[in-house]
Amino acid sequence: MRIQILITFLIISINYVCAENEGRSSILADAVDEYLSTRVSRSTANYILERDGDSFQTTYEVKDFLDEFLKKKFTIPKIGIRIETFAVPTERKRVFRIFIVSSYEGLTRIFNERSLKDILLNGHFLIILPKCENHDFEKFFDFLWNLRIVNVNIICAKTNQSVSVFSFMPFTQNNCRDTKPILINQYQNGKFIKPSNFFDPLKIKDMKGCPVRVALTNSSEAVFYTSMEKNKNKICGPDIKLISTLSKALNFKLNFTFIGHSGFLFENGTSEGPFRVLLDENADLAVGYWWLKTVRMKFFSSTVSYAQQPLIFIIPPGKPVTHLERLISAFSLQSWICIGLFYLIGSLVILFVQLKSPCVQEFVFGAGVTSPMFRMFSVFIGDTLNNLPKRNFARFLLMNFIIFTLIIRTVYQGSYFRQMRTFRHHKEVASINEMIEKYFYFYSNPGMIDILLGLPAIRERVRELNNEDLPEFLKQITTNPNFKAAYANALLFTDYLNLKNSDESQHICKEVFATNLPVVIYSLTDFYLLNALDEKLITIIKAGLIDHWTRESCRQNVRKVQESIKPKVLTFDDLEGSFLVLIFGCLLGFIAFLCEKFLL
């Protein structure tokens, strides 16, 4: 009799447990379906449900949930679901991942089976547990936090009539890794108690003053030092203002873990400077006006681009204009030809008249003039004349010649004086092709040399320049016009150099090598703060603060390199008045000749 009673109680208990499990599986399937439905904006979507691949560890609760969930999917195809029991490689990382496990060990097994490189750590995660009992949720969250996973919820059936959703708030007052579970929502009577926005609590909108490790470079145009009292230096620059503004907006504390040279990062992972610190995970962010490059994205993640910078070439100045060139460049070639023709015609006339009789020579040159060619030269240089001609015709010719020469000489002196007062040099190279034709070599720092190597025309002439050799190299390229080299860097870097060395401004090739290279902040792979940083960066960009900080740190006037000032060269149009005086004087001389020949 007792045995029958025990068997009866055992059967009743088994039926009760089965009914309880079936009820929990049913309501959990409904809750998960409703949860996933709120994650999509379309009427249908596809999700991949990943479960522990160890079939021996898969409990009956997990199997019951899957049976119930799949049954619902076949009857009400609201969303699509595919179940995976092993890691399926994908070309793109999944933004939303669903794991169904029965224990903490099952969750760790899932992550051990998958490479973290294939998991979007700053994506969204949902962990499904058939039951809420006998689970240490803090242990779950602590494991995920060590992987830098923040956006995660755990959903489990509390009873056959209630489903709970748990999460954690890592940043609380005086605690920067709080992994205690927090109940954020409940599913009862066919719906969640709170709206869908409560599934994603604002975990990193306010970091409660928790530190973020930042690696800086002290050789950047966007991060530099200013001296203060008591032998102290202050870090400043556009990027410092940017990261400080972000820290205030998200309420995190800046912890500068590295301040040093800019370093480099090669495709094989060899690196120095901030990238080495970031690669060793001794920093969370790297700030220093970094360009977005493919090789860097293999190792790090980045924010949205907050600025664009063209890549330019710093080139040597043009050769200075010599003194002989200054003497000649006062007049244009056309003007010199006209003036030369005038004196040539005058010399030929003198030679022609000298072949005539003394009577004709006296009539044209005047009495007592034995060296008319030297007399013309004396008038040209402004010498005094003691012996003047007696006839009006000769006087008109001499007066006309003196006035014309005086005008030309005065105008030339003024133009030459202006030439001496101005800074003049020959044009520097204006294009990459011109530099190639003149056998220039193209230099760059190690972190930028891969960009130059991407241009086949200059690949053979690309050279790497170490940071130690940069000051001497810049001095050479600034002062030596015969230096056959060009240095590639960002335009803002050139502005910074010109600001520091205003007496030796850098000359820039007018042809830009590359335009609109995006500038970003690099971070650890899938850093949990990236989405929040992107949101704040977009707001800062729209407000125009980036441009304001850049203009404030490197004033626009430093871009105005001392250009070669070419004074106005006097052309024939400018000297037209003097030639009109010459023609008018010749006309008066001809009239005087007619009067003296025929009327007197």
Rounded CA-CA distance 88/194 in Å is 35
The answer, yes or no, to whether residue 34 has pLDDT greater than 50, is: yes
pLDDT digit string, tens, across residues 237-283: 788 889 999 999 999 999 988 777 777 787 787 888 888 899 999 99
- The arithmetic mean of pLDDT across residues 551-562, rounded, is 54
Tokens representing residue 229 in the block: 């009292």
Determine which of 63-72, 284-293, 374-383, 552-561 has the lowest per-residue pLDDT on average: 552-561
Q: pLDDT-derived band of residue 88, with 50, 70 and 90 as boundaries?
A: low
pLDDT digit string, tens, across residues 48-61: 677 765 544 445 45
Contact 227, 233 (CB under 8 A): yes
pLDDT, position 232: 66
Q: Is 221 exposed, middle or buried (0-12, 13-18, 19+ CB in 10 A)?
A: buried
Tell me the three-class secondary structure of 215-233, residue by residue: EEECCCCCCEEEECCCCCE
Count CA atoms within 13 Å of residue 478 on its CB side: 17
Rounded CA-CA distance 84/569 in Å is 82
pLDDT, position 59: 53
Q: Which of 217, 222, 226, 224 is nearest to 257 (CA)?
A: 217
DSSP single-letter state for residue 146: H
- Which has more pLDDT, 514 or 134? 134
pLDDT digit string, tens, across residues 415-434: 777 776 665 677 778 788 88
pLDDT digit string, tens, across residues 435-472: 888 889 898 877 777 778 877 888 888 888 877 787 78
Determine which of 3-17, 168-182, 546-560 has the lowest per-residue pLDDT on average: 3-17
- The arithmetic mean of pLDDT across residues 93-120, rounded, is 82
